[in-house]
Structure 1
Amino acid sequence: MTMHGVVIWYSRQEFRAIIWCEDSKELGIASGPTAWRNPMVSVAIGDVVAFRAEMRGSDRRCRDIQVVEGQAAPTLPAAMRAKAQTPAVSRIPLLHLCSSRD
């Protein structure tokens, strides 16, 4: 299945990446130079990539990855972290049950 996503973490030394996928489900994992169409291409956090997605157990593995648009979403990782650290809106219950006896 062909998919698009945004690189949210990348290790140039190991050719590993974590990719936020367009369907907002499991994150994509790229592992090693064989995951990339051209492992010598410069990749950066925020790049939009196209790839083949394969489920292996509960992992979404990305293969044949290629950069479609560089630096299209460089703030996405920070926005995701900020959203994950946002406290709950209210700790006050919206529904209160009570019993009544006549």
Structure 2
Amino acid sequence: MIGVIVWSSESREKAVIWCEDQAALAYLQGRGEMADPRHWPQPGDLVELEAEMIGNLRHARKVALLSEQSRPDLPRMLEQQAGTQAEPRLKLVASRDAGRVADDGDDVAARHALRICAAG
């Protein structure tokens, strides 16, 4: 699988990788997972890796550098993008039927306690 390093700390030997399958981020921990342990990846580097799920954490294995600094501006771009996200235009409101139980045994409170309505 191909990935891009989005965060890295050489001193801590940790990195976060966005993967082409757009699933969970992969976490690289330790030089032992690098194909060439002499070079620690930096943000923007393009890498090839294998991913392994352990519990609910995706670990990067057999990480090999494909291209250095393919996107050195990636961390800045992601930071700027996060700052421009609009607040969601949805709000939660209580339903008028909250707490009432239907005759057929269905709990109306469970089905209608919260209704998502467009804020306006």
> Considering the TM-score relative to the shorter chain, is it more than 0.5?
yes
Largest Rg, 1 or 2: 2
Which residue, out of 6, 20, 31, partners 1:8?
A: 6
Report the CA distance shift for 1:9/1:90 in structure 2 as closer, same or farther (over 3 A): closer
Structure 2, unmatched stretches of 5+, are 92-117
Cα distance in 2, alignment partners of residues 89 and 17 from structure 1: 29
Which residue, out of 83, 86, 91, partners 1:85?
A: 83
Q: CA deviation at 1:55?
A: 0.9
Deviant stretches of 4+, over 2 Å: 89-93
| TM-score after normalising by structure 1 | 0.77
Alignment root-mean-square deviation, CA: 2.6
Cα distance in 2, alignment partners of residues 27 and 38 from structure 1: 21
**Structure 1 equivalent of residue 104 of structure 2:** none
In 1, are the aligned partners of 2:49 and 2:61 still within 8 Å (CA)? Answer: yes
Where relative contact order (Cα < 8 A, 6+ residues apart) is larger, the structure is: 1
Report the CA distance shift for 1:42/1:17 in structure 2 as closer, same or farther (over 3 A): closer
| TM-score after normalising by structure 2 | 0.67
Question: Alignment length, in residue pairs?
Answer: 95
Identity %: 33
